[in-house]
Each structure stands twice: as C-alpha cells, then as structure tokens.
Chains A and B, each alone.
Chain A
C-alpha cells in the first residue's frame, strides 16, 4: 500500500479506534459539579455520600450488565461481604479505612471468582436465580455466625482517620463524602480505561454475540469470570465505603431489595456507558428523599410509577436519549453514527 494512501486511512482508523480515550469537557463538568455539591451543601452531605456509594455500587453492576450483558440479582452479596469485611476489621481494632477498603474489595473479588462459574451455563433466568440464591445464602451465613458478624444486632465500630489525617464519621461527614468521592472517581477512571481496552472490547463482543466472540478465538468463559470478579470487587468496595462512612453494618445489606434497587438505578440512568449508574443512583436517592419527605409511606409507589413510565415511553426513545447523553458525556459518535 502506498504511504500517502496509507497515512490518510491510517489516521482515520486510529482516530476511530481512540475516539473514546480522551476525557471530554462534559465529563470534567460532571465531576467538578459532584465535588462542588459536597463542599457547597454541607447540610445534605450525608445524602450526597449515600449517592456516591450507591453510584459505585451501580457502577459495579454496569460492568457485568452494561458492558458484558450478564444479568445479576445478587450484587448485594458482594456489597454485604465488602461491608462486613471492613466492619469486622474495624471492630477488631484495624481501623485504617484504606486497609479496610482494600480488604472489603478483595474478599468480594474472591467470592466473585468462586461463584462466577455458576453463571456460565443457562439462560438469563438461570443467572438471575443463581445470583439471587448466592446472596440469600451469604445473608443467612452472616445471620448464623453472630460471633463474627454480630448477627441480627449488626456491628458498631469506630474508624481511624483516612491516611491518618482526615477523621470520618459523625464528626467528619464532609470528609467521609470526600473520601467516597475520591474512591469513586479512581475506580470510575479505572473502569473507563478498562472499557476502552482490548479486554473491554472483547466484553462488548461477548454482549453483542457470544457465539461469534468464541469463533474469533476469545475465551468467553474466562473473560466472564474475570469481569465478574472485578464487578464483585467494585461492589465490595462500595460495601466497605458504606460501612466505614456510616460506622454500622446490619444484615439488611444482603437483602434482595439492595440488588433490586441497584438494578433500578442502573436502568433509570442507562446501562453500558458507565455514567448511567451514577446518574441513576443520584436520581433514585434524590427522588426517594423528596417523595418520602412529602408522602413517607408512598414513595415506592412513585418510584414504581416512574419505572413504568420509563419503560412504556419506549425502549427506543430511552435508548436514543441515552445515546445522546452518551455522545455528550463520554463518547464522540462515530462518523455516520448520527445519521
């Protein structure tokens, strides 16, 4: 091929392949806005922290559901494991938050690795039931092993300072939210990079057509196990953050409603472009807060109505809106993509 011809096509090809790598200004605005919220609205900083942690939890689901197309109703298993790992460490005197966070993520990752093979066979329905089953099982184990977990009473504990400098908890709620913010941002940036790597592209291929992915030589089972472990680690980190910033854990962390809520958040925000979980978590928790202040016993009614409206409005319109948001927030559309 001639150099002149090659360079023009090569340039276009490279630009196309890298189109998602650069951070775009709406993304910068998004993260600065989150940071500004923490600093500017101290009265609601506990709510903001809850949103950040829920956003990380929803991001963990997006890694398997949005990127890879593997459904799960059991993310609460890893949230609970991460939370209890951090809480047990803290209650036994290992109060360093960073260490607790890493341990929470690691314990969840190991559990993810161990249970991932259960997801490789069967249909979506099988996967929903298996993941749900695993979370029920772990919840019951936590209930029965009260010597370790405090059983139905849960655990109370106090945390050390983040990096030995910043106290978190009731005396340092803003620090707690900033701590969650930093962890969320770092893990988000890592997930973003992963999504644009060859590994991330292979996950998209598995989601789009698992048969063909295998026919290209991709070891699809191995990739699913790997991303499931990463997703579990993210959920575990969310659990550890939740435990550390609220300084309490209880058995409801393993509850089914946690897994269901996080899926609602991701669907409300839109799966597959990584920001959906964060936006969905913010909307879900904000709406719950506003509606439950107005009608404490009916807030779930309105969340249900919103969900039905979202679905009935038409998948296509939601998807089109998500695509617009996607191109605005994260990715520049490919040439001709907008036609």
Chain B
C-alpha cells in the first residue's frame, strides 16, 4: 500500500481558550476526490491553514506523500506538491492572468529568481501558460489586469494558479463561493476536468456540488472530525443530518 498523498495525525490548534482544531486525523489517498464539510465555525479554514503551513499546529503532524512536512513553511510545501485555492480570491489585481500563471510556472521549474532575463522569453514556459489559459477559458482575458476580470473568471484563475504549481494534492476552499448561476457551469466543468492523478480535498457548503464531486466525505464539527465515509453513508447519518444537513435544508 502506498503512502497517503496527504495525512494529518492528531492535529491540534488552540486560539486563546478556543480549541479550533481538536485532535484531527485525516488521510487523503493519491488521486482521491474527497470533500470536507461542516457547519460555519467548524474550523474548516483553520484546518486548511494547518495543512498548508500558513499556521503551525500546537500539536500533531502533517505528512505529504509519506514525508513529515510539519516544520516546513507554506511555500516549501508548495514545492513538494501541496497547493491550494482560497475561499476569498487571493489574486494579483494589477498583474494579468498570463503574468500570474508565468510566476507560478517559473517558480516551480526553478527560474523564478532569474533577475537578468526578460520574463516571457522561455518558449516552454510560454507554451505552458498558453495551455493553462486555454484549459480554463481565460485566453480572451489573458493580458488584462486581473482586477478587471468578471468574478467567475477570477475564480477560474484561482484554480488555474493552484494547478500551475503541478500539485500532487490540491485543496479547494469553496471554489464556487459567490459565483453567479450562469458562471457556475464553468467552475463545475473545470473541477471535473482536474487531472485524475491529483488528490483533491474539496471544502464546500454546496451539498449538490459535494455529492456530485466527492467519493468520500469527512465531516468536521466544532474542530473535531465527526465522521467519515462514502456519500451515501454520510447522507444517511443521523448525526450529520442533525448538525449540518438539517440546518442546511431550511437555509
């Protein structure tokens, strides 16, 4: 059996008196399509920040493809294949999509610190930028400042940027949040077209999206992992209904 793509062991994080993450152990298999759900305030974002290294755990460890990455910084984990998108767009407003993607690609292949070469002179990088722009339908907007893109396109760029780092594990933090109905289809298509060998953990409120995407679901409540299983099991679980689905049904 190969090592999990991403594994958390006994993660704990305290903010003052609040135990935001309480002994969470989580395992994501290579190529998995897994979802993490939970009501507001369950600590989903804290868990993502712990996994990606934006904050350090008070206790516990994170393993990436079998290697302990707990002491590594966020950008070091990205180099080892752990990438993420953000619930609230974290883009470069005055850079174009082409420039933003070029950054991620040249950083990955080790030419990101070149200070004497004009950016955009490596055919291989230009070809890869173009490939990503085409895949995410951003060709028309490629040379515009990101802040001028429609919101749906910005959400697509969020995913394209994370993919440009060539992750082994991709954490998607509510990729469809706030996207108007007519642009949702593009996001769903982009999610469906993600490379099958990349393990994906989807954090999402939208149950339709979760159940159509994930083959395994983990439920987080009040910082603890309540249960984990296949979509049918989760849908049938009374406790999950009580804390989450029931609440969602009348929302």
Residues of A in contact with B (beta carbons under 8 Å apart): 1, 6, 9-10, 12-14, 16-18, 21, 193-194, 196-202, 204-205, 208-209, 211-220, 223, 226, 334-337, 339
Q: Assuming the A-B contacts A194-B115, A201-B119, are A10 and B127 also in contact, with contact meaning beta carbons closer than 8 angstroms in the complex?
A: yes
B98 at the interface (CB under 8 A from A): yes
A219 to B78 alpha-carbon distance, docked (Å) = 10
- B79: chain A residues at CB < 8 Å are 217
Contact among A17, A335, A337 with B119 in the assembled complex (CB-CB below 8 Å): A17
Question: B145 touching A334 by the CB < 8 A rule?
Answer: yes
Question: B139 touching A9 by the CB < 8 A rule?
Answer: yes
Given contacts A198-B119, A204-B92, 7 further A-B contacts (CB under 8 A): A1-B130, A13-B98, A13-B130, A197-B119, A199-B115, A209-B90, A214-B74
Q: Assuming the A-B contacts A17-B102, A197-B119, are A216 and B113 also in contact, with contact meaning beta carbons closer than 8 angstroms in the complex?
A: no
Chain A, Cβ-Cβ closest to B146 = A208
Residues of B in contact with A (beta carbons under 8 Å apart): 52, 54, 73-76, 78-79, 83-84, 86, 90-96, 98-100, 102-104, 106-108, 111-121, 126-127, 129-131, 133-134, 139, 142-145, 148, 161-162, 164-165
> Within the complex, what minimum Cβ distance (angstroms) separates A20 from chain B?
8
Task: Say whether chain A's binding surface is mostly helix, strand, loop, or mixed.
Answer: helix
A194 to B115 alpha-carbon distance, docked (Å) = 5
Question: B86 touching A218 by the CB < 8 A rule?
Answer: no
Question: B90 touching A10 by the CB < 8 A rule?
Answer: no
- B162: chain A residues at CB < 8 Å are 215
Question: A198 touching B90 by the CB < 8 A rule?
Answer: no
Question: B144 touching A336 by the CB < 8 A rule?
Answer: yes
> Within the complex, what minimum Cβ distance (angstroms) separates B134 from chain A?
7
Question: B134 touching A16 by the CB < 8 A rule?
Answer: no
Question: B78 touching A215 by the CB < 8 A rule?
Answer: yes
> Which of A211, A219, A335 has the most chain B CB within a 10 Å cutoff?
A219
A17 to B121 alpha-carbon distance, docked (Å) = 8
> Within the complex, what minimum Cβ distance (angstroms) separates B21 from chain A?
20
A197 to B106 alpha-carbon distance, docked (Å) = 11
Chain B, Cβ-Cβ closest to A190 = B116
